[in-house]
Amino acid sequence: MLAQLQRILHEVNEAHDIEQAVTVIVRRVSATMAVDVCSVYLFEPVSRQLVLMASEGLNPESIGKVRLDLTEGLLGLVGARAEPVNVENAPEHPKFKYFEETGEERYHAFLGVPIIHQRTVKGVLVVQQQVTRRFSDEDESLLFTLAAQLAGAIAHAEVNGDIEALRGGGRLESHSIAGIAGAPGVGVGKVRVIYPPANLDAVPDRKIDDVATERAAFEAAVGATRDEIRALNGRLGETLPVEERALFDAYLMILSGDSLVTETLDAIDAGNWAPGALRATVQSHARVFDDMEDDYLRERAADLRDIGRRLLMHLQDSGPREREPIAPGTVLVGDDVTASDLAEAPTGHLVGVISAHGSGSSHVAILAQAMGVPAVMGVCDLPVGRIDGEEVVVDGYQGRVYVRPSPTVKKEFQRLANEEAELSQGLSELRDLPAETVDGRRIPLLANTGLASDILPSLQSGAEGVGLYRTEVPFLVRERFPSEDEQTEIYRRVLSAFAPRPVTLRTLDVGGDKPLSYFPIEEENPFLGWRGVRITLDHPEIFMTQLRAMLRASIGLNNLQVLFPMITSVQELEDSTELLERAIDELVEAGELVQRPLAGAMIEVPAAVFQIDDLARRADFLSIGSNDLAQYLLAVDRNNARVADLYDAMHPAVLRALHQVISAGHAHARPVSLCGEMAGQPAAAVLLLGMGIDSMSMNAANLPRIKWVIRSFSQEQARALLTEALLLKSASEVRRFVNGALERAGLGGLVRAGK
Ligand code: PEP
Ligand code: MG
C-alpha cells in the first residue's frame, strides 16, 4: 500500500494542473482500493456548496452538476464537521441524500474525508462501494494522506484561476494570495521569475515573440549535449563494461530527433521559451515512465530528467535570454528569493518582491525593507512557474499578492501608495528634530545597513549613526572573500559617510540562512549550526583580516564600534575580544594610528540572556538581536512561513527577556541597544522605551515613524504601558493593548502598517 501511495503522491505532485491532479486521484484510488466509486467534490465559497468535480464510477454527466449545501447528505456532514465519515450502509443513515444524476442508490459503503488547507475545508474526497461494509483504518489513512496532498494543489489552482476554469467560469481576476508581510509598502509591477540555475523543475514558463531564436538555442543545446555524452562515453569506454555504456546509447537515442526534441520544439512554436518548453516536455515524458509497473522502466524517468538538466545547462550557458536586465517596474518573484538576488537588481528598478518561502524576518525581507521595496514572503500557494510577465500587486502591509489585478484593485492600491507617500512626506519634517520623549529623554535612532546604496537614504532619514552594519552583505554579493584592502575601502565608505556619528560594524555573521556561495556549509540545522562568531573564531585568518580592515578604515575618523554576533558563552566573547586586541597590537606595531574601538556583544541567543551579568561585565555595550532572540526563545524558524504566525517578538516571553537584558546592562553601566526588526515597529518601540532602552537601530525606512512615536510619549507613560503589557498572556493581547495606546496618542496612521 505504501509503495502505491507514494506513486500516487508523486503523480499528483507532478500534475501540471488541478484537472489532472483530481483525475489521477480518482482513477488511482478506485484501482488501488478496489472500490466502485471515487469522487472529488470541491467547496465553492460563493455558493457555499460542494460541487462534484471528478469521479470514477459515477455518471460522468453529473460532473459539475451535482451540488449540495453543507447541511445536506453525508458529504455535507464531512464538509461541515471537517472530519471523516465512515458508514457501512449509507442509504440507512439519517443524513443520506439521494442524487438522481449519479445513480448513487446502489452504493452502501461510504467513506468521505475532508480536504483541508490552512484550516479551511476545500472539498471532500469520497469512496463508495456497493457492498455493505466498513472501510478499514488503513483505507482511511490512505484517503487522508491523499486529501492533504490534494489540498495544496487545490489552493494553488484557486490562485491560478484554474478552479474557476474547471467550473466553467473562466479565469478569476484579482485573486489574492496570502503570504506574510515582509517589507512595508505597496507596489504594482510586472513579474520577473528568478530561479536557481540548472534546476529544471524550477524553470518558469515565459512567453516569447522570437520563436526562431529559441528554436536555434534549443537545437544548439541538443547538439552540445550530444557531443558531451559522446565525449563521456569515450572517456569511460575503457573502464566501464559494454552493458553500462548502453546507457549512453540510450541517452543519444533520446536526443536523436526522438519525441523529446520534437515535442520541445512544438512547445517553443506554441510560444513558450526554450527552457520552459523543455521542462514541460521532460516532465510529461518522465511521468509516463513513472507510471510503469516495471522498476527498470521507472528508472528511465531519472535518465530523462538527467538529460533535461544537461540540456538546460547548455541553454543557460548560451542564454542572453537569461541575463536580460531587470527592467524598471519589476516585481522579483521566486521560490526562494535570496538576499543576493535583491542586491544584484539595479537600484530603483524593483517595485516589489515576492518569495514563496521565507518570512518577515528572513534576510531578504530585511534587505527589501532597507531598500524600501515592498515584499511579501512565504506565499506558498504562489504558482511561481506560471506567472512570469504577469501584472501583480504586492501589498507588503497585509502580506497579500494580487495576480492580474482588476482596474478597481489597481486603483485602490495606487491610492494606498499615495497615502503612504503623504505620510512619509509629513514624517520627513521630523528629520532634523531629535528623537526625544515628551519629558526630554533622548533615544538616539540609528540605521541598519549593509549595502553601499543604503548609506544615502540612511543619512537622509536623520539617523544618528549606524547601529548595525551587516558586513556579510558585501561578502554575499561577491564570488570570493573580499581582501583586507577591499574590506577597508567598503568599511571606510560607511564610517566616513556618518563620521563623527558612531558606526557599529558587526563582524561576519554568515551561516544560518546566509550561506556564502564560495564557502559552502552543508548542515541539517543551519540555524543551530556553524554561524556568526562560531565560524570566525574557527577561522582566525578570516576574523583577523576583517578586524584589521575595520580598524584601518576608522583611522582618523575614530567612530568605529565593533559588534560580535551569536555570542553564546563568555568564552566566545573573551576570545573575540582577544583577537580584536591582537589586531590592534599588530597595526600599532606596524605604525598605524589605530584607536581601540568599543566592542559589544550581540544578545540574540537565550544562553546569553541567562549569563547577561557575566557578558555585560566583559563588553563595552550590548546590542539585542531580537530577530534571532525571538527565533531561539520561541523555537520558531524565522524563515518558515508555516509557523510565521507563531513568530512574534511581542510574545510575553521575549518581552521579559528583553527587559531582563536591559536592566542587567544598566546595572553594569553598559548602554543597551536593540537592532532587530522590532525596533522599527511602533508598538514594540513604545515598550522598549518603557524598558529604558538607550538606542534603537532599524531600517532607515522605519526611522521617521519611530521618531514620531518617541516624540509622542513620555518615559513615564511608556513605563506604565510596559507594566501593564507585561501582565498580558499573549503577543496578540500585547499588540492590541499597545496599538490602542498608539491610537489614543493620535498615531493611528502607523498602526495599519502591520506589526
Ligand atoms: C538579529 O538577529 O536580530 C539581528 C539584528 O541580526 P540578523 O537579523 O542579521 O541575524
Ligand atoms: Mg542575528
Residue 504 lies in domain = 471-600
CA atoms of 371 and 701, how far apart (whole Å): 8
CA 418 to centroid of ligand 1, rounded, Å = 31
DSSP reduced 3-state for 688:
helix
Instruction: Kindly state the average pLDDT of the residues 86-96.
Output: 91
Q: Which CATH number do you get for residue 117?
A: 3.30.450.40
Q: Are 133 and 107 in contact (CB under 8 A)?
A: no
Ligand 1 pocket, residue 675 CB under 6 Å: yes
Ligand 1 pocket, residue 627 CB under 6 Å: yes
Q: Is 117 a catalytic residue?
A: no
- What does each C-alpha distance from 290 to 33, 148, 301, 591 come to in angstroms? 20, 21, 6, 70
CA 507 to centroid of ligand 2, rounded, Å = 11
CA 527 to centroid of ligand 2, rounded, Å = 10
Same domain, 22 and 79: yes
Nearest CA owner, ligand 1 atom 3: 625
CA 627 to centroid of ligand 2, rounded, Å = 6
Largest CA-CA distance found in the chain, in angstroms, rounded: 96
CA atoms of 355 and 379, how far apart (whole Å): 6
CA atoms of 288 and 292, how far apart (whole Å): 7
CA 676 to centroid of ligand 1, rounded, Å = 6
Residue type, 329: G
- Phi–psi pair at 314, nearest 5 degrees: -70, -40
pLDDT per position as a tens digit, 349-402: 999 999 998 887 777 887 888 778 999 999 988 888 888 899 999 998 888 899
Residue 298 maps to a domain: yes
Instruction: Return the ligand 1 atom nearest residue 472 CA.
Output: 9
Q: Which CATH number do you get for residue 214?
A: 1.10.274.10
By most ligand atoms within 8 Å of CB, the mutation choice from 367, 451, 507, 509 for ligand 1 is 509
- What does each C-alpha distance from 304 to 87, 257, 284, 309 come to in angstroms? 45, 14, 10, 9
Of 440, 472, 241, 175, residue with least CA distance to 343:
472
**Ligand whose nearest atom lies closest to the CA of 504:** 1
Q: What is the mean pLDDT of the chain?
A: 87
By most ligand atoms within 8 Å of CB, the mutation choice from 454, 469, 470 for ligand 1 is 470
CA 625 to centroid of ligand 2, rounded, Å = 5
Nearest CA owner, ligand 1 atom 8: 627
b/e per residue 301-313 (b: at least 16 CB within 10 A): beebbebbbbbbb
β-bridge pairing 180-183 and 375-377: antiparallel
Block residue for cell numbers 566616513: 496
pLDDT per position as a tens digit, 108-139: 999 999 999 878 899 999 999 999 999 999 89
Same domain, 272 and 332: no
Nearest CA owner, ligand 1 atom 4: 625
Please report which helix (H) or strand (E) contains residue 215, including its range: helix 211-236
Ligand 1 pocket, residue 376 CB under 6 Å: no
Which position has the higher pLDDT, 312 or 252?
A: 312
Residue 327 has pLDDT above 60, yes or no: yes
**Ligand whose nearest atom lies closest to the CA of 649:** 1
Same domain, 340 and 296: no
DSSP 69: E
Residue 417 maps to a domain: no
User: Number of folded domains in the chain?
Assistant: 5
| pLDDT class of 755 with cuts at 50, 70, 90 | very low
Boundary (domain end) residue, out of 553, 579, 600: 600
Residue 241 maps to a domain: yes
Ligand 1 pocket, residue 360 CB under 6 Å: no
Residue 680 maps to a domain: yes
Query: Per the structure block, which three cell numbers stand in for 413?
Result: 492600491
Listed in sequence order, the residues at least 6 apart from 547 whose beta carbon sits closer than 8 Å to its beta carbon are: 507, 562, 579, 580, 583
Residue 398 has a pLDDT of 80
By most ligand atoms within 8 Å of CB, the mutation choice from 364, 527, 604, 672 for ligand 1 is 604
Ligand 1 pocket, residue 625 CB under 6 Å: yes
Same domain, 189 and 158: no
The catalytic position among 117, 156, 357, 675 is 675
Ligand 1 pocket, residue 676 CB under 6 Å: yes
Q: What percent of the chain has pLDDT over 70?
A: 91
CA 565 to centroid of ligand 2, rounded, Å = 7
Residue 238 has a pLDDT of 62
Handedness of CA 343, 344, 346, 352 (dihedral sign): negative
Residue 173 has a pLDDT of 45
Residue 682 has a pLDDT of 94
Alpha carbon dihedral 534, 540, 545, 547, in 10-degree steps, equals 60
pLDDT per position as a tens digit, 725-747: 999 999 999 999 999 999 999 88
Residue 754 has a pLDDT of 45
**Ligand whose nearest atom lies closest to the CA of 363:** 1
Same domain, 721 and 578: no
- What does each C-alpha distance from 402 to 65, 411, 471 come to in angstroms? 30, 13, 35
Same domain, 494 and 595: yes
Nearest CA owner, ligand 1 atom 10: 628
| pLDDT class of 243 with cuts at 50, 70, 90 | low
Same domain, 131 and 156: yes
Instruction: Kindly state the average pLDDT of the residues 478-488.
Output: 92
Which position has the higher pLDDT, 20 or 521?
A: 521
Of 638, 629, 604, residue with least CA distance to 358:
638
pTM: 0.73
**Ligand whose nearest atom lies closest to the CA of 470:** 1
CA 394 to centroid of ligand 1, rounded, Å = 25
Residue 257 has a pLDDT of 65
Same domain, 653 and 565: no
By most ligand atoms within 8 Å of CB, the mutation choice from 623, 675, 695 for ligand 1 is 675
CA 86 to centroid of ligand 2, rounded, Å = 50
CA atoms of 410 and 38, how far apart (whole Å): 42
Of 391, 325, 312, 401, residue with least CA distance to 356:
401
Which position has the higher pLDDT, 527 or 160?
A: 527
Boundary (domain end) residue, out of 377, 404, 431: 404
CA atoms of 526 and 605, how far apart (whole Å): 14
Ligand 1 pocket, residue 471 CB under 6 Å: no
Of 57, 725, 705, 750, residue with least CA distance to 435:
705
Residue 82 has pLDDT above 70, yes or no: yes
| Angle formed at CA 725 by CA 719 and CA 726, multiple of 5 degrees | 90
| pLDDT class of 617 with cuts at 50, 70, 90 | very high
Ligand 1 pocket, residue 507 CB under 6 Å: no
Of 700, 708, 705, residue with least CA distance to 753:
705
Residue 426 maps to a domain: no
- Would you call the peptide bond into 184 cis, given omega within 30 degrees of 0 as the criterion? no
Same domain, 312 and 339: no
Ligand 1 pocket, residue 468 CB under 6 Å: yes
Query: Per the structure block, which three cell numbers stand in for 284?
Result: 510529461
Residue 429 maps to a domain: no
**Ligand whose nearest atom lies closest to the CA of 513:** 1
Ligand 1 pocket, residue 749 CB under 6 Å: no
Q: Which CATH number do you get for residue 345?
A: 3.50.30.10
Same domain, 625 and 494: no
CA 119 to centroid of ligand 1, rounded, Å = 31
The catalytic position among 175, 357, 363, 651 is 363
Beta bridge partners of 224: none
- What does each C-alpha distance from 81 to 93, 120, 504 come to in angstroms? 16, 11, 56
Block residue for cell numbers 540510450: 250
DSSP reduced 3-state for 67:
strand
Query: Per the structure block, which three cell numbers stand in for 513?
Result: 540562512
Residue 318 has pLDDT above 70, yes or no: no
Residue 55 has a pLDDT of 92
Boundary (domain end) residue, out of 316, 348, 371: 316
Alpha-carbon Rg for the chain in angstroms: 30
Nearest CA owner, ligand 1 atom 1: 625
**Ligand whose nearest atom lies closest to the CA of 698:** 1
Residue 170 has a pLDDT of 42
Which position has the higher pLDDT, 15 or 624?
A: 624
pLDDT per position as a tens digit, 28-75: 888 888 999 999 999 988 889 999 999 999 888 888 888 999 999 999
Q: Is 38 a catalytic residue?
A: no
Q: Are 601 and 652 in contact (CB under 8 A)?
A: no
Residue 428 maps to a domain: no
Residue 171 has a pLDDT of 44
CA 367 to centroid of ligand 1, rounded, Å = 12
By most ligand atoms within 8 Å of CB, the mutation choice from 627, 636, 672, 702 for ligand 1 is 627
Residue 456 maps to a domain: no
pLDDT per position as a tens digit, 177-232: 888 888 888 899 999 998 877 788 888 889 898 999 999 999 999 998 888 888 87
Same domain, 395 and 347: yes
Q: Which CATH number do you get for residue 595?
A: 3.20.20.60
CA atoms of 560 and 505, how far apart (whole Å): 7
For 333, other C-beta atoms within 10 Å of its C-beta total: 28
Ligand 1 pocket, residue 509 CB under 6 Å: yes
Of 416, 420, 334, 328, residue with least CA distance to 375:
334
Same domain, 520 and 375: no
Q: Which residues surround ligand 2, an ion (CB under 5 A)?
A: 604, 625, 628
